[in-house]
């Protein structure tokens, strides 16, 4: 299934150099690019119970690998795992929640998370920001920047099905620049010039981009939205890194569009009247032009 590749520019179009520029402009390797609401701050694994266990020989509760005072990762009272299992399960992002669980409950959660993570195979990466398992129709946004060649850090709690996506928005300096999603017309390439030049046209004419992010709204109560932060520190729009980030944004939007478009294909088609009503709403919102609306209407009524 190569439908994705048709609309998405080849990954090589972003050079290592440009990619690194985008990242280095921020906080470098540990910079958070994918955020999930409710996720905890990074793990501080030294705590009050540690001294008591200091002399004990320990094994990871999940994989049984030997761990010691320095390498053990505490999940909750009496439950220690190794660094690999912590990385895979990403439970360090949910430290507070995990500490509330009994060792048995916490172990179950860790194992479930690792199983979910291992089930996810990256078959497509959009510049490291959006990762997809196309055969399984799953996607995720890694939680730490993965400038090319670095291993993405995936939070299994942030692996979602294609169906989970409701809509997505490109946001620059707090302004919505483009919006798409299920049942919405395609964004298309019109927003973007080749080097991102045309992109800021309807922004408030700022020369500086303070923030460029993509917000993905989900039909998921526990995680209502996921952000992909492409720029999170002031950057001159003349800079190559800005153009690179805009290109990446475009690739991500194309991929999201493909995902939601595929999804629509699986849905029961609404009646023409419902469809026309939907497009009328889009017209009233200013999301489509009167010409586009008329064209859709004609098509739907078989005129």
In the complex, the residues that contact Zn ion under the rule CB under 5 A are: 60, 62-63, 65, 82, 85
Least Cβ distance, residue 71 to Zn ion (angstroms): 10
Least Cβ distance, residue 86 to Zn ion (angstroms): 8
DSSP, collapsed to helix, strand or coil, labels residue 174 as coil
| Residue whose CB is less far from Zn ion, 11 or 84 | 84
Q: Do the strands 212-218 and 225-231 form a parallel or antiparallel pair, or are they unpaired? A: antiparallel
| Residue whose CB is less far from Zn ion, 62 or 138 | 62
| Residue whose CB is less far from Zn ion, 92 or 251 | 92
Least Cβ distance, residue 20 to Zn ion (angstroms): 32
Task: Please give the Cα distance from 117 to 113 (Å, whole number).
Answer: 6
Place of tokens 């048995």: 104
| Residue whose CB is less far from Zn ion, 66 or 210 | 66
Least Cβ distance, residue 80 to Zn ion (angstroms): 9
Beta bridge partners of 231: 212
What are the two backbone dihedrals, phi and then psi, of residue 287, each rounded to the nearest 5 degrees?
-80, -25
Place of tokens 């200013």: 286
Q: Specify whether the backbone of 173 is left (phi greater than 0), alpha (psi in -120 to 50) or beta.
A: left
| Residue whose CB is less far from Zn ion, 58 or 287 | 58
Cβ contacts of 118 within 8 Å, gap of 6 or more: 88
- Please report which helix (H) or strand (E) contains residue 226, including its range: strand 225-231
Residues 230 and 243 sit within 8 Å (Cβ to Cβ): no
Task: Please give the Cα distance from 122 to 166 (Å, whole number).
Answer: 22
Least Cβ distance, residue 228 to Zn ion (angstroms): 30
Task: Please give the Cα distance from 150 to 266 (Å, whole number).
Answer: 35
| Residue whose CB is less far from Zn ion, 37 or 104 | 104
Least Cβ distance, residue 63 to Zn ion (angstroms): 3
């Amino acid at each position: 299934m190569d439908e994705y590749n048709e609309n998405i520019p080849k990954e090589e179009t972003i050079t290592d150099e440009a990619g690194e520029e985008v990242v280095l402009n921020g906080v470098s390797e540990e910079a958070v690019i994918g955020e999930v609401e409710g996720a905890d701050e990074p793990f501080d694994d030294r705590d009050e119970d540690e001294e008591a266990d200091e002399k004990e020989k320990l094994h990871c509760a999940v994989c049984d690998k030997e761990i010691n005072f320095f390498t053990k990762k505490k999940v909750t009272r009496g439950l220690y795992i190794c660094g690999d299992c912590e990385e895979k399960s990403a439970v360090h992002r949910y430290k507070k929640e995990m500490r509330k669980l009994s060792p048995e409950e916490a172990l179950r959660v860790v194992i479930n998370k690792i199983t979910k993570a291992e089930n996810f195979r990256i078959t497509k990466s959009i510049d490291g920001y959006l990762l997809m398992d196309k055969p399984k129709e799953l996607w995720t946004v890694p939680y730490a920047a993965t400038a090319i060649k670095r291993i993405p850090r995936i939070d299994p709690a942030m692996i979602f099905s294609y169906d989970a996506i409701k809509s997505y928005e490109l946001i620059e300096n707090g302004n919505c620049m483009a919006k798409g999603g299920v049942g919405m017309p395609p964004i298309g390439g019109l927003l973007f010039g080749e080097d991102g030049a045309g992109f800021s046209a309807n922004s408030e004419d700022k020369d500086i981009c303070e923030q460029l992010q993509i917000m993905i709204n989900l039909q998921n109560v526990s995680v209502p939205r996921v952000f992909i932060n492409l720029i999170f520190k002031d950057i001159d729009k003349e800079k190559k890194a800005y153009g690179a980030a805009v290109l990446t944004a475009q690739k991500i939007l194309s991929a999201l569009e493909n995902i939601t478009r595929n999804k629509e294909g699986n849905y029961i088609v609404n009646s023409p009247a419902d469809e026309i009503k939907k497009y009328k709403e889009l017209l009233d919102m200013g999301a489509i032009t009167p010409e586009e609306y008329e064209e859709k209407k004609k098509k739907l009524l078989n005129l």
